[in-house]
Amino acid sequence: MTTPHWLSAAEIAKAFAAKTLSPVELVTALLARIEALDPKLNAFIRLDAEGALLAAAQAEKELAAGRSRGPLHGIPVGIKDIIDVAGLPTTAHSKILVDNIAEADAPVIQKLRQAGAVIMGKLSTHEFAIGGPSFDLPFAPARNPWNRDHHPGGSSSGSGAGVAAGLFPLALGTDTGGSVRNPASACGIVGLKPTYGLVSRRGVFPLSFTLDHVGPLTRTVADNALLLDAIAGYDPADPGSAATTSRQFGRLLDRGVRDLRIGFIRHFHERDLPAHPEVAAALEDVARVLQAEGAQVRSVTLPTLPEFAGINRVILCSEAWSIHAPWLRERPGDYGKLARRRLLPGAFMTAGDYVGAQRRRAEVIAAVEDRLREYDVLLCASSMDPASRLDDPDETARTYPRQARTPFNVTGHPALAMMSGLSRSGLPLSVQFAGRYFDEATVLRVAAAYERATAWHKKKPPTG
């Protein structure tokens, strides 16, 4: 059998059913791997070994009694440290909240526990999901398993690094300007930002009310669908939650892409923010692969990336200022420099800036909706460059905004990033697929077809 740490959730469930692996054996093996590797990766802020072993023992007892809670029964999951897990700190990787213990599970954690999942602990993030990678915070930044000198992406840094390194098969992250899809891109895994409102944000420390999403990070597309099935659902106490019963997101995974219409937004990486040549070449390869699988791929245009980014920035900064203003006024020195610099602009934005951005937002949403009437899925870049070095803040500052993820935070459409190759320097390259509201199943269908055709997901970082 494959070593337990590289098994997908689907493979783990089969191993449990065949009694070749038990939840306690799996968690014990992962804890040993975490002990060996995490001091070099910093994926965890708080490992909950005791809680994980207790949950695994409970899962094992239930399986022995013939009671399975479903496909996530006994499966380990890591949680970004802005999501509340009862009894554990939610620090948001910040001195501001370093003593903040969550009183209750966020609804997404409640759903994971009901599904039998094992919570492994809390994972590194950029400070408050915006300020990083930083070395002036209470916890070290996560590192990229493909090359520890490089950034693992963010802000869900520990989620990306931990899944890619085989510390756990599944993780939750959050995405306000691309923070699930960026670590997925940098670490060579699968990250999905669901439709706005599909997954409850209650119990998640907010960054920007109308842009925040919770999403799954996994090593395979099928696992991504399984994790989304577990966490999706209407939450009447989340004002942004959608009253939808969408489920079974993996129901189309085996259907292939024959006759699907795919719109390729080339201008994002050719004109708006010209991509690194290896990224651009890999994107053309993606289009060729999907055409060879039977899809119709045509170039399409949308508003420019700088405009999407501008809308995202004004809305994010304005909404984040309304959240952070009291601390920025009284405790500015308790933020790291990057978070302080990225949160303070909201103090200088006007009501006119904010309302103007929200009015333009309605128009760019309409533009994406128009394209999605003609096309089933949109294909575009995720990151324009391979991950930067962690010790090169200028290069990180240059490359971090060079991305095409913010459009789908602004519009709320589902968008998935996954590996599309390896650079000559051995770092993952990435592609992004976006789809219609609540049609995650078709986005995952295209991703699964690409995964089957290329098998990039079988490449593993040199962590052993």
Nearest CA to 169 among 154, 196, 153, 190?
Answer: 190
Q: Which stretch binds another protein (CB under 8 A): 217-225, 235-243, 287-295, 425-433?
A: 235-243
Among 108, 164, 228, 314, binds another protein (CB under 8 A): 314
Is 285 an interacting residue with respect to another protein (CB under 8 A)?
no
Give the range of 75-83, 102-110, 169-177, 343-351 binding another protein by CB under 8 A: 343-351
Question: What is the C-alpha separation between 102 and 83, in angstroms, rounded?
Answer: 9
| DSSP single-letter state for residue 159 | H
Q: Which is nearer to another protein, 356 or 464 (CB)?
A: 356
Tokens of 216: 């799954």
Binding segment for another protein (CB under 8 A), chosen from 21-29, 62-70, 304-312, 380-388, is: 304-312
Q: Positive or negative CA dihedral for 449, 453, 456, 457?
A: positive
Determine if 369 is a binding residue for another protein (CB under 8 A).
no
User: 383 catalytic, yes or no?
Assistant: no
Assess 334 for contact with another protein (CB under 8 A).
no
Report if residue 130 touches another protein, rule: CB under 8 A. Answer: no
382 a catalytic residue:
no
In this structure, which amino acid lies at residue 291?
A: Q
Contact between 133 and another protein by CB under 8 A: the answer reads no
Whether 157 sits among the annotated catalytic residues: the reply is no
Q: Which range of residues in 36-44, 225-233, 312-320, 384-392 is near another protein by CB under 8 A?
A: 312-320
* 330 lies in the binding site for another protein (CB under 8 A): yes
Q: Which lies closer to another protein via its Cβ, residue 62 or residue 238?
A: 238
Stretch of 111-119, 185-193, 335-343, 425-433 contacting another protein, by CB under 8 A: 335-343
- Closer residue to another protein in complex, CB, 271/359: 359
- Catalytic member of 80, 95, 122, 193: 80
Least spacing, CB of residue 216 vs another protein, in Å: 25
> Which of 50/348 has CB closer to another protein?
348
Phi (first) and psi of residue 134, to 5 degrees:
-130, 145
Q: In the 3-class helix/strand/coil scheme, how is 256-286 assigned residue by residue?
A: CCCCCEEEECHHHHHHHCCCCHHHHHHHHHH
> What is the rounded distance in angstroms from the CA atom of residue 216 to the CA atom of residue 226?
9
CB closer to another protein out of 76 and 414: 414
Beta carbon nearer to another protein, 53 or 349: 349
* Contact call for residue 359 and another protein (CB under 8 A): yes
- What is the rounded distance in angstroms from the CA atom of residue 172 to the CA atom of residue 217? 6
Spatial distance between the Cα atoms of 400 and 403, rounded to a whole number of angstroms: 7
344 binds another protein (CB under 8 A): yes
The whole-angstrom separation of Cα 408 and Cα 392 is 28
- Binding residues among 172-211 for another protein as defined by CB under 8 A: 210
Q: Please check whether residue 166 is in contact with residue 160, taking contact to mean a CB–CB distance below 8 angstroms.
A: no
Element spanning 433, H or E: strand 428-435
- CA-to-CA separations, 246 to 163, 222, 251, 455, in angstroms, rounded: 26, 17, 11, 28
Please tell me whether residue 328 binds another protein under the rule CB under 8 A: yes
Task: State yes or no: residue 355 binds another protein (CB under 8 A).
Answer: yes
Q: Are 312 and 211 in contact (CB under 8 A)?
A: yes
Q: Are 276 and 385 in contact (CB under 8 A)?
A: yes
Side chain identity at residue 438, one-letter code: F
Residue 307 binding another protein, by CB under 8 A = yes
CB of 140 to another protein, least distance (A): 22
Q: Does 274 bind another protein (CB under 8 A)?
A: no
Give DSSP secondary structure letters for 47-84: E-HHHHHHHHHHHHHHHHTT----TTTT-EEEEETTB-
CB-nearer residue toward another protein: 2 or 348: 348
Binding site for another protein (CB under 8 A): 210, 239-241, 306-307, 309-311, 313-314, 317, 325, 328-330, 332-333, 337, 340-341, 344-349, 353, 355-363, 365
**Catalytic residue annotation:** 80, 155, 179
